A and B are shown apart, each in its own frame.
Chain A
Amino acid sequence: MLSALYAGLFYLSASILVFGVVLRMAIYARTPAPLKIAQTPAPTTRIGVFWRMLREVVFFQSLFKSNKWIWVFGWTFHMGLLLVLLRHLRYFTNPVWFWVEWIQPVGLYASFALVIGLLGLWSRRLLVERIRYISSPSDHLMLALLFGIAVSGMAMKFVARVDIVAVKVYFLGLLRFKILDLPPDPILLVHLGLVFVLMFIFPISKLLHGPGVFFSPSRNQVDNPREQRYAPRTPAN
């Protein structure tokens, strides 16, 4: 019963996540950018734009220039999250890919980085008056959600260990559309439940900034209007 419920939620939230994000990106891609609005100094070639994007996505270059505290916490959180997510691939692959094996130990520490980053961001949101002013309840709720996911996940590793082999068997089963038994461990159920919520809201919330960053015209445009006429097809032109 429980196994079936969680299976249903898994399929549903995963489809919403995938379709939602794909749909969003399709909308962004379809929406025309009628004019050149590159934020200069900007690269004058496509390759240059690729590097600019890479520096933004990997190092958060602009954020670094802007505010060292937000950068430290934000970057720590995101890199921690990335490693933790990659580490989780071992629950979905059999045999486990070799590089996923490699990052297992790092992934463990990364969970601490993730939590520290989250708490840092959250405390700024609460303590810095400017940021408190611009926060809505959902901004706090999302931090709470991520915090809940992280802490419940870490609890299963460091406090009350669950039968992780059984969990893996369950998820490998789901990938083959077979519903096996999920261990009814309360922390595990909380952890998974929160993850499903996150997947549900991802495409309809600000969490969408992930894919959104690649579509920002001020950053993804090549600065070459004099070299190459910019004439997108739009209703106005």
Chain B
Amino acid sequence: MASPDMDHPEGPQIVADPLKVPNLAFGAMAEIKPFRAHPNHQEPLGFPGELVGNWKEVAIEKIGELANTNRAFRVYLDACVKCGACTDKCHYFLGTGDPKNMPVARQDLLRSVYRRYFTFAGKYFPKLVGARELTKEVLEEWYTYYHQCSQCRRCSVFCPYGIDTAEISMAAREILDTVGMGQKYCNEIIGKVKVIGNNLGLQEKALRATLEDLEEDLEDETGVSVRIPLDEKSADILLVTPSADFFAEPHIDGLLGYAKVFHQAGVSWTVSSYASEAANFGLFIGSQDNMKALCQRIRHAAEDLGVKRIIFGECGHAWRVAYNFLDTLAGPFDFLDPNYPVPQHILEFTLDQIERGNLRFDKSKNDHIRLTYHDSCNVARASRMGDKPGGQFEVPRAVLRAVCNNFFDMDRDTTHESTFCCGGGGGLLTDELMDLRTKGANPRMTALQRVTEDHGVTHMAAICAICKTQFSKVMPQFGYEMDSVVSVHQLVSNAILLDGQEIDGDDRVPEVADAGVT
């Protein structure tokens, strides 16, 4: 926890501007790249194990294929006018000063090659329009800088044409995978989900044991038997949550929060061991085939278990995939109860329960916390909650305000659709990129330091498994404790009063006679 610097010996400290534009630092990040995938990680995903002999033809052919099958790819490569509006919008540029981390410059790494082989001007006047041959160096450069993009879409918000560098970087990674230059972190994980069902490679037995332990903890804490069911047939709700929720801090506390909410709402629910993962890294590598394979696991689990609804736990990109793509890739879900959206977000469920008056809270349980909230990129800029545009901002804040007395937003330029990435999204949450991750977190951390100065904020709630892991790693470098990042449902869990729960010794919360049930 950083101390509010109001009583700093030299008077209140002025904290830097999160939007400050750095001087250009050419080549500053040229050496930073993630580990390459081993053939064992490549082949199960349908990619060649190592760089193919005719990589040049294969890559060019793939670019052509993408241009013909993905409108975003073609339009974005054609339409950019180099106006420069996006140049200072990327947290990795703000944190590193490397000009190739400016969104348009990042796009240009690929655009220059597209122009050379697919446009008239680029074929005949390459110098004039900045077109270039595809070489091994270019491939390496792609590998480097397309793995310095967290696909957060912040640049897209500020581009007059909505050009989304995330789409270009996904496409670039797909091209790289196609020639055999995959990234270890993402591809290894996708392989695990395909075989075992979750990113961690946690087998059903281990998962069951973990959940049983958590049930015991819950009973010890509350005196109430709160269940976390696994593979229970005919439960009403299938909860699909990032597997980090089963073992990592502060994710687990979020899971306990979901369990308490479900318990208090009186609904029957279950986790599936077959689809024990909400994350879908297929998105990060731009592979619709792999994304689809993972989505279909969720469908199969829902069918097998005979559930009526699907609810997703706290995870940013997972919610993007679930909200936007699940139905397209694995639908239609006409076997589910049509009275509920497919899928739902856990926060939509919790807020609905709060609004119905089914949940009671002792907000003072969170009084040791002065809270702010980090909008996760994929939730903020690529999905929605509730039925109105912008619900993705309001729903989490409404829940936080219902359970916590001290809530303060960060600068408006760094929240809502303008939120800064945590620095670890898009498949970059791997140790060898720690330097990049820390620098990329800088704008968010600077904005956080401001609310710490102004309002004494001590904790930041996050709604995404990647954000939570990333922040607990990098926050200590910015003067905060690693547990200063908290799950949204952790705060719910702290404050919720379960029927019959022990409070301070022997008192028990009385039953609410008319607690409605959804």
Contact = CB atoms under 8 A, between A and B. Distances in A.
Given A31-B70, A40-B382, A133-B99, A213 B79 contact: yes
A208 interface: yes
B78, B163, B292: which has the most chain A beta carbons within 10 Å?
Answer: B78
Counting contact residues on chain A (CB < 8 A from B), the size range is 35 or more
A131 interface: yes
A38 B125 CA distance: 35
A31 B162 contact: no
A230 B327 contact: yes
A139 B128 CA distance: 9
Contact of A209 (B79, B381, B383): B79
B83 A63 contact: yes
Contacts of A33: 70-72
Contacts of A206: 78-82
B312 to A, nearest CB: 12
Contacts of B323: 225-226
A56 interface: yes
A217, A223, A237: which has the most chain B beta carbons within 10 Å?
Answer: A217
B104 interface: yes
A3 B149 CA distance: 55
Nearest to A236: B288
Contacts of A94: none
A67 B158 CA distance: 8
Contacts of A231: 328, 331
A226 B328 CA distance: 10
A218 interface: yes
B380 interface: yes
B84 A31 contact: no
A184 interface: no
Interface stretch (A41-49, A98-106, A159-167, A189-197): A41-49
B477 to A, nearest CB: 27
Contacts of A66: 85-86, 89, 158-160
A133 B105 contact: yes
A40 B72 contact: no
Interface stretch (B178-186, B259-267, B364-372, B384-392): B384-392
A217 B72 contact: yes
Contacts of A62: 85, 157-160, 162
Counting contact residues on chain B (CB < 8 A from A), the size range is 35 or more
Contacts of B67: 31
Interface in A9-42: 24, 27-28, 31-42
A87 interface: no
Interface in B25-76: 67-72, 74-76
A141 B127 CA distance: 13
Contacts of A31: 67-71, 74-75
A138 B121 contact: yes
A15 B104 CA distance: 32
Contacts of B83: 63, 70, 74, 121, 131
Interface in B338-359: 341-343
Contact of B288 (A34, A137, A201): A34
18 contacts: A28-B74, A33-B72, A34-B288, A38-B324, A39-B153, A39-B156, A70-B84, A131-B84, A133-B24, A134-B84, A138-B128, A138-B130, A212-B79, A212-B161, A216-B72, A216-B163, A219-B161, A229-B327
Given A28-B71, A209-B80, A141 B384 contact: no
A208 B79 contact: yes
Contact of A41 (B84, B87, B162, B390): B390
Nearest to B380: A40
A70 B83 CA distance: 7
Interface of B: 21, 23-24, 67-72, 74-76, 78-89, 99, 102, 104-105, 108, 119-121, 125, 127-130, 153, 156-164, 167, 288-289, 292, 323-325, 327-329, 331-332, 341-343, 380-384, 387-390, 392-393, 417
B126 to A, nearest CB: 10
A32, A40, A134: which has the most chain B beta carbons within 10 Å?
Answer: A40
A93 interface: no
A201 B323 CA distance: 41
Contact of A32 (B71, B342, B393): B71
B23 to A, nearest CB: 8
B84 A39 contact: no
A215 interface: yes
Q: Nearest 10 pairs between A and B by C-beta? A: A136-B130, A212-B79, A66-B158, A131-B84, A218-B162, A219-B162, A41-B389, A66-B85, A130-B87, A31-B71
A134, A137, A213, A230: which has the most chain B beta carbons within 10 Å?
Answer: A134
A128 interface: yes
Contacts of B160: 56, 60, 62-63, 66, 74, 213
B404 to A, nearest CB: 24
A123 interface: no
Contacts of A236: 69, 288-289, 292
A179 B387 CA distance: 62
A64 to B, nearest CB: 9
Contact of A216 (B76, B288, B380, B387): B76
Contacts of A63: 83, 85, 158, 160
Given A40-B381, A70-B85, A229-B327, A65 B78 contact: no
A235 interface: yes
B69 A235 contact: yes
A217 B125 CA distance: 29
B394 to A, nearest CB: 10
A187 to B, nearest CB: 27
A227 B342 CA distance: 9
A204 interface: yes
A27 B86 CA distance: 27
A129 B324 contact: no
Given A36-B325, A38-B324, A62-B162, 18 more contacts: A31-B67, A33-B71, A34-B69, A35-B325, A38-B382, A40-B382, A41-B393, A63-B158, A65-B158, A66-B86, A131-B84, A136-B82, A136-B130, A206-B82, A208-B79, A215-B75, A219-B162, A237-B329
